Amino acid sequence: MRHVTIAEAKEHFDELIALVREGETVVLTDGGQTAIELKATPPVPKKVDIEALKRDLAELRASMPKFTAEELAQYRREGQKG
């Protein structure tokens, strides 16, 4: 965290903005007191394409082998024997 006076910030504004973009927090002081804190905002989350996810899930399900309920029950019973 870097502390600079408002007067210094005016002189070196571009440099301070570059530091903030790199993830550093810059505190501007006025008369020795904290006046403003500059820090980068978190990135905006990407929008999720629900329709693409549904298509992917449908493809995955289509590629999986089909089992009857009885086959699944049998596999489960076999797994409990061990």
Please report the pLDDT score of residue 79 as a whole number: 79
Please report the pLDDT score of residue 10 as a whole number: 95
Please report the pLDDT score of residue 32 as a whole number: 92
Please report the pLDDT score of residue 52 as a whole number: 95
User: What residue type is assigned to position 1 of the chain?
Assistant: M
Residues of the chain with pLDDT under 50: none
- Retrieve residue 39's tokens: 């820090």
Domain boundaries, the chain: 2-38, 50-81
Which among 13, 16, 32 has a CA at the least distance from the CA of 24? 16
Please report the pLDDT score of residue 82 as a whole number: 57
Q: Which pTM does this prediction carry?
A: 0.52
CATH architecture of 2-38: 3-Layer(aba) Sandwich (3.40)
Please report the pLDDT score of residue 14 as a whole number: 96
